[in-house]
Copies of this chain bind each other. A is one copy, B any other.
Amino acid sequence: MGEMGETEVVLLGWHLSMFSTKVRIALEEKGIEYEYKEEDILHNKSPLLLKNNPVYKKVPVLIHNGKPVCESKIITEYIEESWKDKSPLLPSDPYLRSQSRFWADYTDKIYEFGMKLVRGSKGEEMEKAREELLGCLKVMEEEIGEKSFFMGEKFGHVDIAFMSYYSHIYTFETLGKFSLEKDCPKLFALATKCMERESVSKTLGDPHMIYEAIIMYRKSLNLED
From B64, B70, B95, B106, contact of A69 by CB (8 A): B95
Stretch at the interface among A23-31, A71-79, A167-175: A71-79
C-alpha gap A136/B55 in the complex (Å): 10
The 10 closest A-B pairs by CB, nearest first: A81-B94, A78-B98, A82-B94, A69-B98, A74-B101, A74-B98, A78-B94, A74-B102, A67-B95, A70-B102
A35, CB-defined interface residue at 8 Å: no
User: A67–B94 Cα gap in the complex (Å)?
Assistant: 12
Given A64-B95, A75-B98, A77-B101; 6 other pairs, CB 8 A cutoff: A67-B95, A69-B98, A69-B102, A71-B102, A74-B98, A77-B97
A223 in the interface (beta carbon within 8 A):
no
CA of A71 to CA of B139, assembled, Å? 17
User: DSSP majority for the A interface?
Assistant: helix
A183 is an interface residue with CB less than 8 A from chain B: no
Q: Are B139 and A106 in contact (CB under 8 A)?
A: no
Q: Name 20 A/B residue pairs within 8 A (Cβ), A-sorted.
A: A55-B106, A64-B95, A67-B95, A69-B95, A69-B98, A71-B102, A71-B105, A74-B98, A74-B101, A74-B102, A74-B105, A75-B98, A77-B97, A77-B98, A78-B95, A78-B97, A78-B98, A81-B94, A81-B97, A82-B94
Shortest Cβ distance from residue A51 to the other chain B in the assembled complex, whole angstroms: 16
Contact partners of A139 in chain B: CB under 8 A: 55
Q: Which residues of B contact A67 (CB under 8 A)?
A: 95
